[in-house]
Structure 1
């Protein structure tokens, strides 16, 4: 037993989180759980010492961070629509002549001068977007609980329920927490194994402007978002807490809720705002919150929990991954510390599923998209305002959505893209004199589309093309023609913008995006660093992909052929990818790369992943050049950058290197690079959720790929994953795949076809099955059409870019919709 010494002030304070020290001995619940119940469980033998050790729960709307402190529990609260400021768009009506000047200077190769003009005239006007903010905190104080034993706290991501348990004076206490997906309330159940032992005080607090009142049995916090960068706060919100007591009693006033000598205490909490959409904040937050609370309060805890579990597991249970023997005898933070030097592949499996848990919990069909911190932010002004950084991070959040069968959770992203296609018309017209729509590298809940954070980072007008890639990918995975028809005008509007703004560069006559940047990177360093450029490789790839997707979409929908022909003509005039003096894929139009560059962004490799423009089978020279670029860039980086590199090494068919990066990422955070916090949150540092989602995507890419004309089975299996199984991963064309392997060889394969048609499989081993026919010619399945790209420009002899293509075999299987095909492989 360890005694915790606390001052009287700390015992009564409802404003600060108490960090407790308890025994390292696992609690009774830890010992009693069966192995399968342990598989998806994060657990710890002490409370959270800080926010990055607290455990996340969420339902897309309400987010909670559970600290698990013994004397004073803290659940930090978020609601997805609590943002600073109000409806606005940060357009620069004076930008047009300065854009023309920058283009002219770039044409003349006066790069430093172009940067100076951009910095002076093309930075943010009015504001750089509004911050996502916390709602506040729910505090639960347990007087006297200073000395405890058998402490354990956990998060079961198979159930989306967090638990704290401990023994105090021979009484076993338990706390359970979840955010109901079906009833939109946060639930806390407090119990003990002896009657009349639950006594506590409950309070609400917010660092935002707030007022605390009590009505009947409800504790009500009314708050508002912050004013920010000349934008007046328009968000109003209410948090309502209400208890249901079994045995004992409770009283409520403006100082809090007091529970005395109960058998069980239930806390029901709802949060709502006045947000309707990006231009409407006319809702009544108190009435909204009260409606949720009243409806949930009529239901018992077990009834709410069952409905919550059924809803959640309908998503979570779609994919099962087994990478080896479970080793969960040590707390999760200890496993993270040892992962790099131990053989614990199941931790990678847990991390994979934790990413899926986070996406389910932060992005629901009726919610806002997952932002830079998902839905969990503990600050008034979170890192980078917790906005939507659309030059990689927002997109990375949704990389696992299609392949790990969470396709419905894209709805918030698609809704935001549709809204940006509206607000982005103004920035296209006012700033660039163009049709269609566009935005720069950042946006927020108000869907701003102007330059954010200064021209050095923010003068990047290509986010519309990247966002539209998600629309096309959704079609390729689902075959949903109605969806494609609905969003075709959005994709077309993005293409119209580029038709109007592409500039002819003087040396080759190529059409390029100018001005732009290769996100957040410079090609001239030093005190007067230069980022602004024309024809960055990533921009060329993005515009090529957008035009190609629209050309294909016009064929699918049998529409707009004249427009498609225009895009074909323009696409042929885009710059080809170029291989530079070091055998690297060039990042810029000119050969300006450095072999010692270890910048976190690897934007020029978009064409390798998440794009599909670089193939070992169709463009081996580009493939080798992309590999060289990644080697030069190095492994050590921020958390999200390492996650991107996992996907890239998977696409490079190097499973061991991908797994090495997984080990780098799932390691304690260091000052030199990112890593993973004790609660499995990814660290930039600080916390950015995109690294979690990116790693989940990367593991999926190691096990299944479907972008290159066929479904590639186990394309990047590392040596340490000698045996295992995966079921439920989705491939383009609507194929659901299950694979079991031992000794790195597939011995069982299942294919479920949702859409029918030819299923072409690629394998690194011969599949001796009579019903699988050796593939001939091009894949006839329209979802696997590969676009021809221009021949690369090489600065070195082609022979120096030799690539030893892995031996693989191609097979075809004709499928019917709704049928499963199972094969035992000898």
Structure 2
């Protein structure tokens, strides 16, 4: 009888699910109207190419990008204003508390506007638009457009004049072209015109018998002349109908189906070489692709994409809200009950990372690879005081480590150009980078001394090398990228300055990114984030050199330096100090929370190893507030997850998933196409919320694999499969009534697996943990005891939830399953 009842229940569930249409909309962004603005259009990409699809019935617009179309030309941006010679005086003024004078001197050497022989970085620029005009499709019914992120396919359907029309668009991962497929329910029903437009000044458009060719040159800025040449070819392949041309367009009459191929090539070969032939590249991509049937193109594209995307699944439950259009779900999410929308935004972040950062491509920039402006906000460069790093937070944990490769490649190039800034600006060995770079791998300060005098970009970016090693255990990878870690450590070994009072070693001058400790003055010594970053740089180098048995003398010197770094400090407001001195203002709502780097993404602050620091970090985050820019709220999801507060992390998700208004500088949120709003659009917020959701469910930074560390009350039951942890483990996890129901662990390296849980687990294979985790990938950092203000006050450690820890031994390439019942 129980079996019959169970079968009936399953059948009823299927009927309800099918009736509500949940299966259709499971991992789709969909809408009942075309995009009116760029922030409503849908993004597609293959790492190299990107497009925004507007899906207007009368005129389809495909706004195109190719990742190497940037203004300017090869060359660094090291100022020749005598900064290195002024450095000792700037340091003296800072230590004498003469910050205004230090600021003035620094601004003379690195002014707001670059000198004539220098620049502050080049903008990422669009290629142009392909327009497909359907003159008789003015009045339509049954309109539907969607982006299926389980396939990386965008599609549009509608009915006009009694005929149902379908468009499918994708940027092929396997054939390196944009493919547009036009079909109709009635033969010989497709009549349209195809044209192109381009916003660049140097551009030529030629219409041939079968192909439209667009060629152009990127823009100039500051002291750099635009030298990236690009070629776009657009060619329709008809099934039935006729093709003619005019001076401005290709004209198709009464076709049954059309496949439009869009190919783009540039002269870019590397950051210092523009010797490729753009026409040959574009022509080869086009000719190779058009030889294949559409189904072959589409199937190979989906197969390639899914080998990455399908590694992770998430189920947080589904309600009737999941059957609504995406823009409606967004507008109702904050006050509604739509747990599946969290699944959608989580997977959308993974979709965007796969689509903007393939192996062999450029890394994802401030807007991924999607930009329609010649002069985009912040140039759409690589802002490396948080934003570029944030783009790659999901890479390891959400099982997309291959997407990290483009960042690693850029690091090797920055290692080369960064030697110039290290030697010329600081008279140091090794390499460094300030807070911005671009396609040309500039490493000098950007935006003047107020924002740009932060020589820590290389320190933060290099953490991604070490994190990839901790997740993969790949010693060959570590050996290949070891010079990056060594060069970063060598730079700080050379530039650290002794602070007069406590004899600490610190970076001077620097700043706490984009914040200021008094009106319009940011320059400082030994900021908390700098100290945390240098600690990680030194620690990573010490571990890597030991593993690879290299650089004994330098390692010993770096160990001495590391022991002389300042400890973290807790100020009079019971906060983690942002600066070396207790300057924090509890009313400061700045979007950057840089001093909390030690909490996330680093692991220097732990509830179980240094509870006072943990509380101080929480106090700092409380003071800073929840409402902010979109990317800042995305960072805070991760921070609250590390603070083990699932409900607060979930509140930040809800705040971030608030509709953003067009053309305003109001607080951040999310646009109708689910792209993150600073505002305007920045993609890092999408990646931040994806990594934050993963952090809420699985953490592995604090000596164990912590399961459900920050589970909110809203997610009482659910499952996730495919998340990765340090030590080469892959985790499948399900829970019910907020307690772990089952665990499936796959070990690629073997070794001890330590589970941390907020509920007790019973299985004879699990042994209660004793002492530190013997698995070296879970080694905890040994930080200094913090200095605490006499005015600081803290709660008892008893306010933490109880934890249970268990060990079991694993073998390489083995899978272990634990079922703890209902």
SS in 1 for 2:124: coil
- 1:243 matched residue in structure 2: 236
1:270 aligns with 2:263: yes
1:85 aligns with 2:78: no
For the aligned residues, what is the CA RMSD? 1.3
- 1:23 matched residue in structure 2: none
SS in 2 for 1:275: coil
1:151 aligns with 2:138: no
**Structure 1 CA distance for aligned equivalents of residues 573 and 19 of structure 2:** 58
Do 2:126 and 2:373's aligned partners in 1 also have CA atoms closer than 8 Å? yes
- 1:810 matched residue in structure 2: 805
For structure 1, the residue ranges without an aligned partner over 5 or more in a row are 1-29
**Structure 2 CA distance for aligned equivalents of residues 635 and 117 of structure 1:** 36
Give the C-alpha shift of residue 397 in structure 1.
0.2
- 1:169 matched residue in structure 2: 161
- 1:372 matched residue in structure 2: 366
1:784 aligns with 2:778: yes
Distance 1:641 1:799, change over 3 A: closer
**Structure 2 CA distance for aligned equivalents of residues 73 and 188 of structure 1:** 10
Higher mean displacement: 591-600 or 773-782: 773-782
Do 2:228 and 2:274's aligned partners in 1 also have CA atoms closer than 8 Å? yes
- 1:625 matched residue in structure 2: 616
User: Superposition pairs for residues 46-85 of structure 1, below 5 Å?
Assistant: 46-85=33-72
Give the C-alpha shift of residue 568 in structure 1.
1.1
- 1:768 matched residue in structure 2: 762
- Number of residue pairs matched by the alignment: 794
1:738 aligns with 2:719: no
1:122 aligns with 2:110: yes
Choose which of 531, 536, 548 in structure 1 pairs with 2:539: 548
Give the C-alpha shift of residue 231 in structure 1.
0.9
- 1:11 matched residue in structure 2: none
Distance 1:283 1:256, change over 3 A: same
Do 2:574 and 2:793's aligned partners in 1 also have CA atoms closer than 8 Å? no
User: Superposition pairs for residues 635-714 of structure 1, below 5 Å?
Assistant: 635-669=626-660, 671-714=665-708
- 2:446 matched residue in structure 1: 452
User: Superposition pairs for residues 397-412 of structure 1, below 5 Å?
Assistant: 397-412=391-406
Distance 1:611 1:172, change over 3 A: same
Give the C-alpha shift of residue 508 in structure 1.
0.7
Do 2:207 and 2:250's aligned partners in 1 also have CA atoms closer than 8 Å? no
SS in 2 for 1:466: helix
- 1:582 matched residue in structure 2: 573
Give the C-alpha shift of residue 215 in structure 1.
4.0
Deviation by residue 1:613-648 (Cα, 9 ceiling, x = unmatched): 000000000000000000000000000000000000
1:100 aligns with 2:108: no
**Structure 1 CA distance for aligned equivalents of residues 413 and 246 of structure 2:** 43
Do 1:398 and 1:410's aligned partners in 2 also have CA atoms closer than 8 Å? yes
Deviation by residue 1:429-454 (Cα, 9 ceiling, x = unmatched): 01110001111100000000111011
- 1:110 matched residue in structure 2: 98
Give the C-alpha shift of residue 256 in structure 1.
1.6
Choose which of 317, 327, 331 in structure 2 pairs with 1:333: 327
**Structure 1 CA distance for aligned equivalents of residues 796 and 441 of structure 2:** 46
**Structure 2 CA distance for aligned equivalents of residues 66 and 495 of structure 1:** 45
With normalisation by structure 2, the TM-score equals 0.95
Distance 1:814 1:395, change over 3 A: same
SS in 2 for 1:36: coil
Deviation by residue 1:138-159 (Cα, 9 ceiling, x = unmatched): 1000002111111011100000
SS in 1 for 2:375: coil
SS in 2 for 1:408: helix
- 2:132 matched residue in structure 1: 140
Distance 1:424 1:403, change over 3 A: same
**Structure 2 CA distance for aligned equivalents of residues 469 and 313 of structure 1:** 28
Choose which of 550, 559, 563 in structure 1 pairs with 2:550: 559
Deviation by residue 1:419-475 (Cα, 9 ceiling, x = unmatched): 000000011001110001111100000000111011100000011110110000000
Give the C-alpha shift of residue 31 in structure 1.
10
**Structure 2 CA distance for aligned equivalents of residues 73 and 672 of structure 1:** 31
**Structure 2 CA distance for aligned equivalents of residues 198 and 534 of structure 1:** 67
SS in 2 for 1:144: coil
SS in 1 for 2:794: helix
- 1:26 matched residue in structure 2: none
- 2:196 matched residue in structure 1: 204
**Structure 2 CA distance for aligned equivalents of residues 540 and 227 of structure 1:** 38
Give the C-alpha shift of residue 511 in structure 1.
0.5
Choose which of 216, 219, 224 in structure 2 pairs with 1:223: 216
Give the C-alpha shift of residue 715 in structure 1.
0.3
Give the C-alpha shift of residue 33 in structure 1.
9.9
**Structure 2 CA distance for aligned equivalents of residues 522 and 739 of structure 1:** 43
**Structure 1 CA distance for aligned equivalents of residues 281 and 794 of structure 2:** 65
- 2:819 matched residue in structure 1: 824
Give the C-alpha shift of residue 92 in structure 1.
1.6
SS in 1 for 2:777: helix
User: Superposition pairs for residues 500-511 of structure 1, below 5 Å?
Assistant: 500-511=494-505
1:306 aligns with 2:284: no
Deviation by residue 1:381-438 (Cα, 9 ceiling, x = unmatched): 1110000000000000000000001000111100001100000001100111000111
**Structure 1 CA distance for aligned equivalents of residues 29 and 84 of structure 2:** 53
User: Superposition pairs for residues 178-193 of structure 1, below 5 Å?
Assistant: 178-193=170-185
Do 1:389 and 1:443's aligned partners in 2 also have CA atoms closer than 8 Å? yes
1:256 aligns with 2:243: no
Deviation by residue 1:776-795 (Cα, 9 ceiling, x = unmatched): 11111010111210000000
**Structure 1 CA distance for aligned equivalents of residues 433 and 151 of structure 2:** 38
Give the C-alpha shift of residue 563 in structure 1.
1.8
User: Superposition pairs for residues 11-26 of structure 1, below 5 Å?
Assistant: none
With normalisation by structure 1, the TM-score equals 0.95
Distance 1:735 1:358, change over 3 A: same
**Structure 1 CA distance for aligned equivalents of residues 42 and 699 of structure 2:** 32
Give the C-alpha shift of residue 37 in structure 1.
3.6
**Structure 2 CA distance for aligned equivalents of residues 249 and 494 of structure 1:** 61
**Structure 2 CA distance for aligned equivalents of residues 798 and 80 of structure 1:** 50
